[in-house]
A and B are shown apart, each in its own frame.
Chain A
Amino acid sequence: MLNYTFQFGTVWREWPLLVAGLLTTIRLSIISMVLGTVVATVAAAASVYGSRALRVSVLAYVEFTRNTPFLVQVLTVYLGLPSLGVHLSAGDAAILAMTINIGAYGSEIVRAGIESIPKGQIEAAKALGLRPALIFRLVVFRQALIAIYPALASQFMLLMLSTSIVSAIAVEELTATANTIQSRTFRTFEVYFVVTLIYIALSLLFRAAFHFIHVRWVRVR
């Protein structure tokens, strides 16, 4: 029998905390998207153009990251690195773990994009006298980006949702904020319900933003 009075007011009264948590979630997501894309591009370029040793090490990085849980990666970075003498704040550890994660997933996507560029175009660019770096930037990367943008965007959406996992190492993002509020008000169900709604709104916002970027800058008109 449901003998429980729902009180959403107590949750809304904590809105400054919720806003701070929301902003942290957005900040963590955007920083690791940018850093992760850099790692993904470097790893993909290394696995396409690199020497055999480089290819094998990128493969090991990608496979190991894709086949272990993100939570374990977060714990390894946050708890494990100090014993190697690297001390990171919880926030920095979270960004590092997310960058490693998105770098591995992203590199597979970027690699598929690079490999989708016809060889003839690269040969044509060479024949026109372009340097390798310029060929990669103008001929390969730009076209690859257009081809892979949708896949990359949906990977970013997954990353944004997985930021909730870094609450496990006490980064004060949205999920951790929910935990704080619930331990303070004991309005457990209400807090998680409201925060779930905020995540849905955030998903829709990110999707709209990715769509806007696609239409405005990426799509070929």
Chain B
Amino acid sequence: MIRDFSTGDLLLLLLAARWTVALSLIAFAGGAMAGLAVALARASSAAIPRYAAMVYIELFQDTPLLMLLFVVFFGANVLGFQVSPWAAASIGLTLYGSAFLGEIWRGCLESVPTGQREAAKALGLKPWQAMVFVVLPQALRLSIPPTIGFLVQLVKNTSLASIIGFTELTRTGQLVNNATYRPLAVFLAVSLIYFALCWPLSLASRQLEKRLGQPLV
């Protein structure tokens, strides 16, 4: 039975956007914590953590995120854990986020002039103190625009969770389309909701980057 695309369906899509937002926030929080560790390891002077972080970043940058979600979702089941699409998407997007944020933040850590670290050393600060009190606060300021820019990618990429069966905005769009068969209207509405989530972030990122005075790529 085909029904019309109504305001009720629009409401359904708006409610489904909650799951997109929730998944984005989880992936961002998890990705940020793990990403900081990756960035510190990547910028470390010890060879083993540096190379391990490099391989980790390369691995995720050279494989499609969709493949990663499949490996997590089906791989965990092979290992004997019963994983819901919700958990698999959270884990997959967290891993993906940690690799990309790690690479972005490494750049920020390295763009803090070495003189700062040397000065901290000359003042008698221990290496971790120099990192925490001198380098990180300066890197943090540089990192805000590209981090928000990556958040846009993350929000958009949560749509891939629909393929492993997590009912967020895109999958709800597909379900509504199956019931109403109004693909243009449905996917236009879905696109507009994503746009409403992402565009302010994109603008903020660009604005903050301008304020920093120097473009970070």
Contacts and interface: CB of A to CB of B under 8 A. Distances in A.
Contacts of B80: 1-4
Contacts of A70: 156, 159
A82 B38 CA distance: 46
Contact of A71 (B59, B68, B78, B159): B159
Contacts of A3: 80
A37 interface: no
A188 interface: yes
Contact of A2 (B64, B79, B174, B184): B79
Interface string A63-97: 11011111111011001101110000000000000
A80 B187 contact: yes
Interface in B161-184: 162-163, 170, 173-174, 177, 182-184
B187 A75 contact: yes
B183 A80 contact: yes
A164 B66 contact: yes
A168 interface: yes
Interface of A is mostly: helix
A203 B58 CA distance: 10
A195 B182 CA distance: 35
A149 interface: no
Which range holds the interface residue count of chain A? 35 or more
Interface string B69-95: 011001101111000000000000000
A79 B183 contact: yes
Given A79-B183, A84-B184, A164-B64, A192 B170 contact: no
A149 B96 CA distance: 26
B159 A72 contact: yes
Contacts of A200: 59, 62-63
Most buried by A among B174, B183, B188: B183
A79 B59 CA distance: 33
Given A79-B177, A188-B78, A204-B62, A72 B67 contact: no
A165 interface: yes
A200 B68 CA distance: 12
Contacts of B173: 72, 75
Given A71-B170, A76-B187, 19 more contacts: A1-B80, A2-B79, A67-B152, A67-B199, A70-B156, A70-B159, A71-B160, A72-B170, A75-B174, A80-B184, A80-B187, A161-B64, A161-B65, A165-B64, A167-B66, A192-B75, A200-B63, A203-B62, A203-B63
Interface of B: 59, 61-68, 70-71, 74-75, 77-80, 152, 156-160, 162-163, 170, 173-174, 177, 182-184, 187-188, 190-191, 194-195, 198-199, 202, 217
Interface of A: 1-4, 63-64, 66-73, 75-76, 79-80, 82-84, 151, 161-165, 167-168, 175, 178, 182, 188-189, 192-193, 195-196, 199-200, 203-204
24 contacts: A4-B78, A63-B199, A66-B152, A67-B195, A67-B198, A67-B199, A68-B198, A71-B160, A71-B162, A72-B187, A72-B191, A72-B194, A75-B183, A75-B187, A80-B183, A83-B182, A83-B183, A162-B64, A164-B64, A178-B67, A189-B78, A195-B67, A196-B71, A200-B59
